[in-house]
A and B are shown apart, each in its own frame.
Chain A
Amino acid sequence: MSIDRRNFLKLLGFGTVALGLQPTRAIASIDDSKIKRPDSYGVLCDVTRCVGCRSCEEACNTVNSLPAPEKPFDDYSVFEEKRRPTSKAFTVVNRYETSKGTIFRKVQCNHCLEPACATACLVHAYQKMPEGSVVWDEKVCIGCRYCMHACPFYAPAFEYESPVPRIRKCTLCYNRIHEGKLPGCVEACPMEALIFGKRSDLIKIAHERIRKNPDRYLEHIYGELEAGGTSWLYLSAVPFNEVGLNTTVGTYPMAEYTRGFLSSVPLVLVLWPALLGSFYAFTKRNEEVKKQGNEKHRKEAHSQEKGEN
């Protein structure tokens, strides 16, 4: 009935090693050089330059062949309310009344270096591309909308009105980048409030602007570290929460909050049944061996007794 001490300790040891291995591998993937590729692209958004002309919105609409908006792009009454990117407008400009007067800011997907949407996705429909874009694959998506819950910037939008709904969001003009073009919004911005380049170059440019104009800018680049770093970077004159940027995201990658738990799911579902199953089989076999051994012993003893008699 009882398992012997040596075998029990052996099993316990194997189990602990197996448990220990799994999370170690998960943590190692954080430093995957593919994710934090220094030559990935990004956009630097200088909020102090934006004049709210909505050229970026118009360009985004054109390059993505989106439906015509309710109000034309030269209608500035849209600033009356704070808008969010939708399935028909991947970027919107909002007006903020701040401590330094009226300021405009463009809102879109920030293309996190370690995107929460991609981690939350059950079917790996999201991918962080080496170019910097966080893209979504129509063929894989099952429409659960977990990405929308996971995103700290409310970027992904869902086509609620469509019978075959898709998730829509900014792709950092992934296709245009490959054609050697600038993203639509960047090309259209008359003030060069948006500039496109290697993320590492943009960070240098941003630091240089702060150094040259300390009165104009806050000494901080939003997105350099926020949410573990984003491909979209911001410079501003006023605290970032005044222009509607989430300053509570911290610098810890969103994905990391769930990675430990999510990586243990396959372990629990696959490894544990196998481990416990083999444990059960092993003990059962031991029992049977013992039983057989006992019987054999008894038989032998019996035959010996007979022989003696």
Chain B
Amino acid sequence: MKPIGVRVSMAILVIAAIVVTILWAKAWGESQKRDDGIPETVTIDVLSKKYLPVNFPHQSHAEMSGDCVTCHDHSSAGKTSACSKCHSIKPSLKKDDVPSLKAAYHLQCVECHRQQDIELSRCTYCHTKRQASSKVIKKGSEK
């Protein structure tokens, strides 16, 4: 039996090792992401009322289009700006022709989907409907 002091210091050492490993892994992951700069999936949940948030497969779409500015308009290559910078969340009385955020997303996605096949432009192709019970909503948002 080792004295208590030694046992405590060993436990501290083990915990410290675990923490260091986690931190390093996280930092490594972040650096990985920073390397190619493109997030794999993007969760769009700014406007989720009727449907669950969309897990947008960003990587595959980026590969498909081959160029960031195809979708990220008003951006220069390699430096994209947030859509919500210009497109307001709330649709309003129209004086200019800038679509609201929801419309901007849809115009971007659906126009292309529709050209492939009209079935790809159906709401539920991208969106999962929220169920009426709140339990399911909780489950869905945890996903």
Contact = CB atoms under 8 A, between A and B. Distances in A.
Interface stretch (A26-34, A148-156, A197-205, A220-228): A197-205
B23 to A, nearest CB: 42
Given A51-B121, A53-B123, A190-B106, A201 B95 contact: yes
A190 B94 contact: no
Given A186-B91, A201-B95, A205-B94, A192 B100 contact: yes
Contacts of B114: 51
Nearest to A208: B97
A190 B114 CA distance: 14
B102 interface: yes
Given A191-B103, A192-B100, A192-B103, A51 B93 contact: no
B99 A74 contact: no
Interface string B113-141: 01000100111100000000000000000
Given A51-B114, A192-B99, A182 B93 contact: yes
Given A51-B114, A74-B123, A196 B94 contact: yes
Given A51-B121, A74-B123, A74-B124, A191 B110 contact: yes
Size category of the binding interface on chain A: 20 to 34
Nearest to A51: B121
B50 to A, nearest CB: 9
A128 interface: no
Contacts of A192: 91, 99-100, 102-103, 106-107
Interface of B: 91-97, 99-100, 102-103, 106-107, 110, 114, 118, 121-124
Given A189-B103, A201-B95, 10 more contacts: A49-B107, A53-B123, A187-B91, A192-B100, A192-B106, A192-B107, A196-B94, A197-B95, A201-B94, A209-B97
